[in-house]
């Protein structure tokens, strides 16, 4: 773990680096890539290293090609900075040695630690990775680090958890293995007691490898800052990647990449105890009902003439019992769906709150530190004249830096408000919480968010917003989410930029509804898949990082607003998605 002084130094360096790169982008514009490219010279090759078995961050896909969040982020940075990169994924321990030996120029994902910082320089973190304890099912589901004492614990060789457990002195026998897949296979086969690794890659590999006897237990034991990393002293290359990362965050492309690979955590499946419990509730009454029917049948065979009236009564009771059983089954299914939704929303909110909490906690400290240091800096300025501060003249930085920190704090508070909205969505909402919204304004907000993606995906994008569309009642933020999902799917469906996308809104007076349609000229959807598009976790883009939740969530939002989401498609010709939302009646008509 980082000491207080080391953490303060790292945060201060990160803040100054972000401020410098942000100001550079603002002053020179995002179009300035690198000097070599402008002069006509080909950019030098940058060799980028990474872990071959760390999905969804970085991994080799079924064609042995690099894929994942880190890979896509690295290529995006290289594109905006005019760099030529070669990505080499292999065993993590070997890639760490390659970096120190000079065979690799930069690692696209590495957790920060004081020990590593002695030989390696780090960028500002581009995400936070949470690590958990993994165990075989059937044991204690609320383990902590203290429970690892005296146990054999599997970790990645030369990974951050090997250093973390050693520093914590938990008293466990550490068993390092080459890859995360090897960690989980060894644990699933019954070897050793537990494993400690990144939670999201662990859940991803459990699903992909079919290791149904494993699960993550307890709360996350560590949250690590995940950065680009270079060999100590290679400041020039690190600065290029820092600037590229800042550009991606300003243009919104970083958020798109993050949402694609890391934006949603799938909820955990049912445990065996829950399966047996629900099975007993459903099966036991059914067994009792069938057994009673057999007994009654044998009795009726002996007393048909004398008990005809009683037989009629028993048949009627049986019918009522079967109807009650079906009703209870439907209630159980609905309750299970709502529980899964609550787990999903709580998990997402928790993962967002952790890094955002760090920002909200540390920014006031940084602002106070700057205010305390300002009189000293001013005195030095008055005595010795202007000087460089964070890569810019102090006379300029003293005015800009407080504004930048204030904007960062405002943005972090906005993230917190969005997370609170997400938690509210998981709870039962009280009537009267909705507000008036303009569908056209909501569409325009979504278009601004996706401008970069649309520009890269198609050369033929048209928008037709109807005039005089009535105002709706509901959540503009959630309707915007639906529009974003529909546009992202349309962009991903296009095989070439020559194919087009059309977006249109209008008012249907006959149905008293507002309509939004997104039509693409993409590859279309197979007829057998069309009816499953809004099923949770159904996706035809699993290989490219799809989670199967976008259209499911969108359909739920449409129903929540009293409307619907429908699809029509023709293979090879494209797909049309239609969102229908009812116009609320005036209060005098409702009364």
3: DSSP letter: -
Across 188-194, average pLDDT: 93
Rounded to whole angstroms, the Cα distance separating 52 from 466 reads 50
Of residues 282 and 136, the one with the higher pLDDT is 136
Residue 169 has what pLDDT? 92
Q: Examine the pLDDT at 424 and tell me if it is beyond 70.
A: no
Q: Examine the pLDDT at 33 and tell me if it is beyond 60.
A: no
pLDDT digit string (tens) for 353-378? 788 878 888 888 888 888 888 898 88
Instruction: Give the residue from 131, 2, 165, 154 showing the smallest Cα distance to 57.
Output: 131
Q: Examine the pLDDT at 390 and tell me if it is beyond 50.
A: yes
Residue 1 has what pLDDT? 45
Predicted TM-score of the model (pTM)? 0.42
Of residues 342 and 571, the one with the higher pLDDT is 571
Query: Please, what is the end-to-end C-alpha distance for the chain in angstroms?
Result: 63
Going by pLDDT thresholds of 50, 70 and 90, the confidence category of residue 35 is very low
Residue 220 has what pLDDT? 94
**Tokens (6 digits) for 10:** 């790292």
Rounded to whole angstroms, the Cα distance separating 219 from 203 reads 14
Residue 227 has what pLDDT? 96
For residues 254 and 248, is the Cβ–Cβ distance under 8 A? Answer: yes
Measured CA distances, 400 to 19, 20, 479 (Å): 9, 11, 36
Rounded to whole angstroms, the Cα distance separating 79 from 33 reads 9
Across 236-248, average pLDDT: 94
Residue 356 has what pLDDT? 80
Residue 542 has what pLDDT? 57
Q: Examine the pLDDT at 334 and tell me if it is beyond 60.
A: no
Residue 22 has what pLDDT? 45
Q: Examine the pLDDT at 30 and tell me if it is beyond 60.
A: no
Across 432-439, average pLDDT: 76
Rounded to whole angstroms, the Cα distance separating 531 from 345 reads 25
Q: Taking the CB of residue 542, how many other CB atoms lie within 10 A of it?
A: 12
pLDDT digit string (tens) for 148-166? 999 999 999 999 999 999 9
pLDDT digit string (tens) for 90-110? 999 999 999 999 999 999 999
For residues 25 and 246, is the Cβ–Cβ distance under 8 A? Answer: yes
């Amino acid at each position: 773990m980082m000491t207080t002084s080391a953490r303060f130094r790292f945060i201060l360096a990160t803040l100054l680096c972000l401020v410098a790169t942000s100001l550079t982008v603002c002053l020179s514009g995002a179009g300035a890539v690198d000097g070599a490219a402008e002069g006509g010279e080909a950019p030098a090759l940058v060799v980028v290293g990474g872990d071959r078995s760390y999905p969804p961050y970085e991994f080799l896909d079924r064609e042995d090609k690099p894929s994942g969040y880190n890979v896509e982020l690295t290529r995006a940075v290289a594109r905006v900075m005019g760099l030529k990169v070669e990505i080499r994924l292999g065993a993590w321990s070997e890639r760490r040695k390659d970096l120190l030996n000079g065979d690799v120029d930069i690692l696209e994902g590495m957790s920060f630690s004081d020990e590593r910082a002695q030989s390696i320089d780090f960028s500002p973190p581009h995400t936070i990775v949470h690590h958990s304890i993994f165990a075989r099912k059937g044991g204690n589901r609320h383990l902590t680090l203290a429970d690892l004492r005296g146990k054999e614990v599997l970790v990645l060789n030369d990974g951050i958890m090997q250093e973390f457990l050693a520093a914590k002195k938990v008293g466990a026998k550490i068993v390092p293995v080459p890859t995360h897949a090897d960690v989980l296979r060894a644990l699933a086969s019954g070897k050793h007691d537990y494993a400690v690794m990144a939670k999201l890659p662990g859940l991803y590999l459990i699903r992909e490898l079919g290791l149904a006897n494993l699960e993550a237990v307890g709360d996350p034991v560590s949250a690590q800052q995940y950065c680009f990393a270079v060999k100590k002293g290679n400041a020039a290359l690190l600065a290029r990647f820092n600037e590229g990362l800042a550009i991606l965050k300003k243009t919104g492309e970083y958020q798109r990449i993050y949402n694609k690979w890391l934006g949603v955590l799938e909820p955990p499946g049912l445990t065996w105890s829950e399966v047996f419990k629900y099975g007993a509730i459903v099966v036991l009454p059914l067994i009792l009902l069938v057994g009673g029917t057999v007994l009654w049948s044998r009795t009726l065979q002996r007393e048909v003439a004398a008990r005809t009236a009683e037989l009629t009564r028993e048949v009627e009771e049986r019918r009522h019992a079967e109807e009650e059983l079906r009703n209870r089954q439907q209630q159980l299914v609905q309750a299970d769906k709502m529980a899964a939704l609550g787990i999903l929303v709580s998990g997402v909110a928790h993962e967002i709150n952790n890094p955002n909490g760090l920002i909200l906690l540390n920014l006031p400290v940084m602002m106070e530190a700057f205010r305390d240091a300002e009189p000293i800096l001013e005195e030095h300025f008055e005595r010795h004249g202007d000087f460089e501060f964070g890569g810019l003249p102090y006379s300029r930085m003293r005015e800009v830096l407080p504004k930048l920190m204030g904007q960062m704090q405002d943005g972090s508070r906005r993230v917190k408000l969005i997370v609170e909205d997400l938690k509210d969505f998981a709870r039962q909402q009280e009537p009267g919480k909705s507000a008036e919204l303009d569908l056209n304004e909501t569409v325009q907000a979504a278009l601004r968010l996706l401008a970069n993606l649309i520009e890269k995906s198609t050369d033929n994008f048209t928008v037709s917003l109807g005039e005089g569309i009535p105002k709706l009642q509901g959540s503009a933020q959630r309707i915007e989410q639906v529009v974003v999902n529909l546009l992202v799917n349309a962009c991903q469906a296009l095989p070439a930029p020559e194919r087009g996308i059309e977006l249109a809104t209008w008012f249907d007076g006959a149905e008293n509804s507002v309509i939004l349609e997104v039509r693409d000229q993409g590859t279309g959807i197979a007829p057998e898949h069309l009816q499953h598009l809004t099923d949770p976790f159904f996706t035809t883009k699993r290989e490219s990082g799809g989670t199967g939740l976008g259209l499911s969530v969108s359909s739920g939002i449409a129903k929540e607003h009293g409307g619907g989401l429908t699809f029509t498609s023709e293979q090879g010709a494209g797909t049309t998605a239609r969102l229908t939302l009812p116009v609320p009646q005036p209060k005098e008509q409702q009364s």
